[in-house]
Structure 1
Amino acid sequence: MYSFFDKITIKITYFLTKSVKKINMQKFSRIFQVLFRWLLTFTVAFVWARYFIRSLWQATLIATAVSVVFNLIFRLVFNKKSSVSSLKKQERENAENAFLSLSMDVKAMDFFATLASKTGKAEKKKNCIVIEHEPGEKTVLIPFLSHKNLSCDEIAAYVVLARKYKAKKIVIVCETADKECFSFAKNFDEKFVILNQYEAYEKLYKAQDCFPPITIKYKKEKALAFKELAMFSLNKSRAKGYFISALVLVVSSVFVRTTIYYCVVASLLLIMAAISLCNPFAKNAKCDKVL
């Protein structure tokens, strides 16, 4: 049987869940982040202002002013970088999806042959593209379309391949490369250009205005829903930690002059511990079937 407090807690949690479902989760997340940033700024400013200033209204006024100034500066700086950062983020996603698509494409060499033909006479081989810019000046373009790091073993093998076609320059497209590859490549007369998936997007695809068809994309991780967040942060396994933390703060408040802050935090921790003990979301959690 549920106690009166348990029933109240369950009803409040159920109401919050229903309310959150009606709101777009992305908008809710943004609103929560803004409110949390303002509350955190004000709380920190108020604690320090209250420590130095005994007048309550003066401390509140100063804390409010500090919060406004801080958040205005934060917003100005963030708005200036938002357009640039969003563009970079989109291009990084495109680069990752492009490499993933190429790694799954059996005709990926055809794309690199088309790309190479924009810079000179290109000839497609089994494992590389041989580009002849001028008589006697050759470059090999090698797509290393593997999801493991490019290693020194591949570098050595590609040197043999380049010498087979009498090429003086080796361009390698890979997802990532071991740091040792760059120093190891300096031991050979051939000039190496090692491009990871982002550099290949910027210096090859974008520079030649020739982009690989994106046939598959990485799935974005979904943000935690309210129910999942409640299951993670408010469950019986965490109730003990919340309760012990609250007791430590209560005992500490006996020896500290500014007991109000300890009492507030201790009260919040005790409430979280109580909710964690009777969280309906944690009780209804089910394991997925394997077969």
Structure 2
Amino acid sequence: MRITVLSGKGGTGKTTVSTNLAYALSKKYKIQLLDVDVEEPNDHLFFNIDFYKEESVDMLLPVVDNNACIRCGECAKACQFGAISVFPTGTLVFESLCHGCGACAMVCPVDAITEKPKSLGKIKLGKINENLEFGMGLLNIGEPSGVRIIRELKKHIDDNADVVLIDSQPGTSCPVVESLRNADFAILVTEPTTFGLHDLSLAVDLVKEMGIPSGIIVNRDSDDTTIIDDYAREANVPILLKIPFDREIAKLYSEGKIFSEYLPEWEEKFLNVFDEIKGLVK
């Protein structure tokens, strides 16, 4: 089973849910945890990981030989992203707009375009314990999109794992869509605030559009408001778990500790969440 953990906004507790769920499930199942929040991965801060593999993720950028270029403009016509322009003085490539599709090199009638690799970031694979494998991606500073890194990391999904947990980026942009692709279930993490509700509704719309069953986990829950409960009933999305606004949990998190390891009752609660997910997927 592939489960993606996402939220409409940052800071709601995706890392909290992903790491604690992975820890709890690893007691009974073979788990792989992938941190695809490639702009700022932080799941690794909560585990002692023995990394055994690191790969660079590259993209091929076009290089134009303006001595051979005949200024025909075919490359510019083929580019859907406006990344290449033809002027009387030569052809110019805008690297920040290029998606590395290779169309320009394919259509050039005089073979004036070659390609060079450019590093976008890297992926790392490691092992936490016998039942818990780990992978993460890291986007280079200044790069506009981490989709390619997420795709490369997902190529290393372990088909022998009982559960693959994918900790997504916040928001509902292209990297989040990529992290949801081929998922069996989506956990939507939110907080009981107006901002949390607004962005939760965006995430719900996304998973419904993609046809992925989902459930909500409310982090930093408070008895003072029921806005998430009211929305969940209206949207017909089940609430799987509520994690209270608790000082002990916050203290353990700030120390980089998995709180379900130190508060055993929470290990059982996360296992119950998975049992409920299995029923929803069926």
Does TM-score exceed 0.5, indicating one fold? no
**More RCO (CA 8 Å, sep 6+):** 2
**TM superposition score normalised by structure 1:** 0.22
Which structure carries more helix by proportion?
1
Compare CA radii of gyration and give the structure with the larger one.
Answer: 1
